Amino acid sequence: MTAPAPLPEQSVAAGPGEHHAPPRADLHDAIGWCVFGAAVVAGSLTMDRLEQQNINPVTVPGLLPGLLGGAMVLLGLVLGVRSWRRGALAQPLPPPDADAREQRRRVAIAVALCLGYGVVLIGHGLPFWLASSIYVTGSILVFQRLSRDPAERAAGPRAWARALAIGVISSVVTWLVFEHLFLVRMP
């Protein structure tokens, strides 16, 4: 089986000022989404179904994550096919420019912050609202520090106070909504 001829770049609607990732980069992203979606589906299938509590099958734990994981796999496959049709296997990945390196660094920092929140802060004795306040406030301050705007990067007391207010308010509102509206116990 031979790979189809790459489609012309005009086939992908790109408006002025829009930037499309190279096909090889899209293929890498597609593989990543498929693997992550499959992991979410596998995790949702192993969740406790709470049969002893006569839970309605439409509301069993793991249903929504499983559907979202399946959607990630499906959309990852669509992205993979599209990148393959654009010639992902024939075109090498260009070396990353400064913007691409900066984006990768920001993604790595975001992943590290999320892992720190999920692995270190949650489930080890801190109340949910406090752990989430620390995470949100810290994330805001870290990404402000990484800003290209020098004024935003120089975080003064006002920026710290704003980040703290956003972190505490968003965390308390999230905790209240889940605990009292959705009746979900937070860790």
Rounded to an integer, what distance in angstroms lies between the CA atom of residue 103 and that of residue 121?
26
* Each residue's pLDDT tens digit, 137-148: 999 999 999 988
| Averaged pLDDT, 158-179 | 94
The conformation of residue 93, written as its DSSP 8-state character, comes to: P
What does pLDDT average to over the chain?
86
CA-based angle 139:30:114, to the nearest 5? 20
pLDDT of residue 17: 55
* Each residue's pLDDT tens digit, 37-66: 999 999 999 988 777 777 777 778 888 999
Two structure tokens written together for 87: 């010639």
Domain extent listing, the chain: 21-93, 95-186
Q: Tell whether the model's pLDDT for residue 1 goes beyond 90.
A: no
Rounded to an integer, what distance in angstroms lies between the CA atom of residue 43 and that of residue 72?
14
Q: Tell whether the model's pLDDT for residue 13 goes beyond 80.
A: no
